[in-house]
Amino acid sequence: MSADLEEKTDRYGELLAEALEEATVAPPEGTPMADAADDCYEMAASYLADGEHFRENDDPVNALASFSYGHAWLDAGARVGLFDVPTEGHLFAAQ
């Protein structure tokens, strides 16, 4: 495996795991928007698990893709107001 691919896969996996820890559902519980946030969060967490599975099975390309897709779910949710996220730092695109 190329060192660049390995480094990028590790970095994106760590980024997604950290972003999942930091994101909290913004809309009030029991509302359709909160349900949408829960769905987005679940998708991101599932992609993290998938990426870890692919990495454990020496498939860094699919691991990297999974981590990237997972982060995209969180980042898009943050942009439309489904999540409260840090506004500073490297975890999310500028709000």
DSSP for 42-87, written as a single string: HHHHHHHHHHHHHHHTT-HHHHHHHHHHHHHHHHHHHHTTSEE--S
Full set of structural domains in the chain with CATH: 3-84 (1.20.1270.90)
Q: What average pLDDT score do residues 68-89 get?
A: 92
Q: What is the pLDDT of residue 19?
A: 95
The pLDDT tens digits for 50-62 are: 999 999 999 999 9
Q: What is the pLDDT of residue 3?
A: 77
